[in-house]
Amino acid sequence: MDKLFVDKGGEVQEFEGRDKRKQVRFPVCLSIKYTGKEFAACPDFILNINKADIFILLEDPLDKGAELTLVFEIPEEKVLCRLEGEVVGVNTNDPEYPKGMQVRFRNHLAEDLQRLEDYLEGKKHLVDETV
C-alpha cells in the first residue's frame, strides 16, 4: 500500500508513490465519528494509507496529544473500520495551511486499512470523466 486519497466535498483524488497524481477523481461519501463528536457525512480529509494517518479539515480540532477512536462508515449502511489514533498535529491559526488536525493511527490491523482502501478503490467505477 502506498496510496494517498484526498477528499474535498465528496470528490476524491488519488495519488500514488511519490505524489504522482493518477488522473482519477470519483465521488465518495464517508462519515467519520470520534468520541464526543460526529462529522457530517462526506467530510473533507486527506488519507495516507501507506503512513497510516489522516488529516481532517476542521474549524475546531482537538488538542495535540488527544487520543481518539475514528469510526469510518458508509452513511446509513455499515462501519468500514474503527481505528485508534492520536492527534499529532493541529493547525488553527496558520493561514498558509488548512485548519484541522493530523491523526496518526495506532495499534491498527493492516486488514482495517486494506478494507478502507478497497472501499475507495471500489468507487472508481463512479469516475466523473468531465473533471
Q: Do the Cβ atoms of 12 and 6 come closer than 8 Å?
A: yes
Q: What is the residue extent of each domain of the chain? A: 3-126
The whole-model pTM stands at 0.70
**pLDDT in the model for residue 131:** 41
Lowest average pLDDT, out of 43-52, 61-70, 111-120, goes to 43-52
Q: Which CATH number is 3-126's, of 3.40.50.300, 2.60.40.10, 3.30.413.10, 2.40.10.220?
A: 2.40.10.220
Identify the residue whose cell numbers are 469516475: 127
Q: Report the range out of 14-23, 65-74, 103-112 with the highest average pLDDT.
A: 103-112
- Per-residue pLDDT for 43 more than 50? yes
